[in-house]
Amino acid sequence: MKKPKQHRAAAPAHSSLLFGLLIIAVFLDVMDFSVVNVALPVIKSDFGASLAAIQWVIGAYGLTMAGFLLLSGRAGDMYGQKKLFVSGIVLFTASSFAAGIAPSLPILIALRAVQGIGAAISSVTAFSIFLVLFPEGEKRNRAMGIFMAVLSAGFAAGALAGGFLTAFLGWRSVFFINVPIGAIAAVLIYRYLPESGARAANKGLDLPGATAITAGLMLLVYAFTVASGGDLISLQTLVPLLLSLVLLASFFYIESLSRNPLMPLEFIKRGAILNANLAALVVAAASGGLGVLVTLFLQQTLGYSPLDAGLGFLPPAAIFFIIGGWGLDPIIRRLGIKRAMIASSILVTAGVALLIPISLKGGYLGILPGTVLWALGASIAFPALSLAAVNGTRRGEEGLASGIITTTQRIGFPVGLAALVAISSAATPLNSTPAQSIAGFRDAFIAAAIMSVLAILLVLRINVPEHSKRVQGISTEFVEADLP
């Protein structure tokens, strides 16, 4: 039987510009995180704040971003990605300017929470549009590599820009820098991004489910942010943690009864989606605490300056940029997504395991092989797991798939950070010497290695078709109907 001819749409006139705008949206989020981190000590000094208070400049941002990712992704499916995308950029830009003129720390923290909402909306809809523009296969893999390379560079650029801006223009300039970039991006997005309209089959947004998942995730991040400060078994940690578990459980119950669920339960049971998200959660958890522990080891144990510690991360950062970016497509084409995920998970586990014999005598060179091997694996694992988690996405599910995998990774970092820091602290006596702190680092790296082994077991359960034969109708329709 003669196969029906598959129509291929011509490349859109502004496809490169659109791809660049998507990158800018997520680049702002990544850069903002590292820029503000560098400026925190100066902000603390300027407002005369305590360490516990100043951590919420970061915590408030992460809290609202994690809470609004899934809601933002599904709202984009319902009401059109362009509307959400533009509104997210505008909200992020406006709150950045307001944060730059904040007269007090509580107002700055509140504005950072608003920034997190804008970042959630813009980043998750950016990935949703990315899924529509690039069909499954080599084009998506290649574009994902470029995406990851630019974001890796953004994190490093943010750290350098934060140091320069804070030193020469003051900490408020780290927020003002977002304003011209965001304003230009919003204008170009509004001008060139086509109106795709609603893509999901149902038109109603599940408000009870949205309320439960948003509040539940925000409380979960809040609890683990508090726990990472050392209050692991305090009421301030346990009460929001229990409330979050109740709300998250109620979310799944609401979804099972809803006619227009925010997250159809059959979706997460489909193909590789559930296992890919679970594996991404575990890899993110192992990685979230690893970076902080290595930083503490370099600065507090070895006595490195913040600048020297930052320079110490250049080798893994370069690996993320080169391998996770430009090397991703050829690796996946040669190995396939499944084998790439297995190989990268093994590399992550081996890298973390090499950090377990950490010692004062070994110094920086003693941890370098482990961090390099970890970066080599993680730079492939994160994008490969993202590709597996959105494999087989149907029309109207782009925002849902994007929201779930982005939420999974965002939740993994604070959970892993709190767990590994708590394990390290439990094995380290108060007023410990540098030599005594080594035991805590070793215990934490053992826990991270166990998490990484669990990730390997989850990856082995993922079944991803290496050569999808479905008609790429989503991308074709978007190009033909909407692009100028």
Q: Both 29 and 170 in a single domain?
A: yes
Q: Both 243 and 213 in a single domain?
A: yes
Can you give the pLDDT at residue 479?
Answer: 30
The distance between the two most distant Cα atoms of the chain, rounded to a whole number of Å, is: 78
Does residue 225 form part of some domain? yes
Domain end position, chosen among 185, 202, 219: 202
Q: Both 40 and 134 in a single domain?
A: yes
Task: Of 313, 362, 363, give the one whose Cα is nearest residue 158.
Answer: 313
Number of domains, the chain:
3
Q: Both 323 and 400 in a single domain?
A: yes
Does residue 354 form part of some domain? yes
Does residue 419 form part of some domain? yes
The total of other beta-carbon atoms located within 10 Å of residue 167's CB is 12
Q: Both 389 and 413 in a single domain?
A: yes
Can you give the pLDDT at residue 6?
Answer: 40
Domain end position, chosen among 243, 261, 279: 261
Does residue 273 form part of some domain? yes
Q: Could you list the residue range(s) of the whole structural domain that residue 251 is in?
A: 206-261
Q: Both 122 and 237 in a single domain?
A: no
Evaluate whether 192 touches 14 at the Cβ level (below 8 Å). yes
Q: Both 39 and 184 in a single domain?
A: yes
Evaluate whether 137 touches 329 at the Cβ level (below 8 Å). no
CATH number at residue 408: 1.20.1250.20
CA distances from 333 to 143, 162, 330, 340 (A): 13, 37, 5, 9
Does residue 2 form part of some domain? no
Q: Both 161 and 114 in a single domain?
A: yes
Q: Both 108 and 229 in a single domain?
A: no
Q: Both 305 and 233 in a single domain?
A: no
Distance (Å, rounded) from C-alpha 334 to C-alpha 323?
Answer: 14
Does residue 431 form part of some domain? yes
**pLDDT averaged per 10 residues, the chain (length 484):** 42 64 76 72 80 73 80 75 85 94 92 91 80 69 70 65 76 88 85 63 68 83 72 78 90 82 73 81 82 76 73 78 73 83 92 90 89 88 81 65 77 77 70 74 90 91 59 31 28
State pTM to two decimals. 0.70
Can you give the pLDDT at residue 351?
Answer: 93
Evaluate whether 423 touches 140 at the Cβ level (below 8 Å). no
Evaluate whether 414 touches 62 at the Cβ level (below 8 Å). yes
Can you give the pLDDT at residue 474?
Answer: 30
Domain end position, chosen among 181, 202, 223: 202
Q: Both 58 and 106 in a single domain?
A: yes
Does residue 166 form part of some domain? yes
Does residue 303 form part of some domain? yes
Q: What is the 3-state secondary structure (H, E, C) of the chain?
A: CCCCCCCCCCCCCCHHHHHHHHHHHHHHHHHHHHHHHHHHHHHHHHHCCCHHHHCHHHHHHHHHHHHHHHHHHHHHHHHCHHHHHHHHHHHHHHHHHHHHCCCCHHHHHHHHHHHHHHHHHHHHHHHHHHHHHCCCCHHHHHHHHHHHHHHHHHHHHHHHHHHHHHHHHCCCHHHHCHHHHHHHHHHHHHHHCCCCCCCCCCCCCCHHHHHHHHHHHHHHHHHHHHHHCCCCCCHHHHHHHHHHHHHHHHHHHHHHHCCCCCCCHHHHCCCCHHHHHHHHHHHHHHHHHHHHHHHHHHHHHCCCCHHHHHHHCHHHHHHHHHHHHHCHHHHHHHHHHHHHHHHHHHHHHHHHHHHCCCCCCCHHHHHHHHHHHHHHHHHHHHHHHHHHHCCCCCCCCHHHHHHHHHHHHHHHHHHHHHHHHHHHHHCCCCCCCHHHHHHHHHHHHHHHHHHHHHHHHHHHCCCCCCCCCCCCHHHHHHHHHHCC
Q: Both 37 and 132 in a single domain?
A: yes
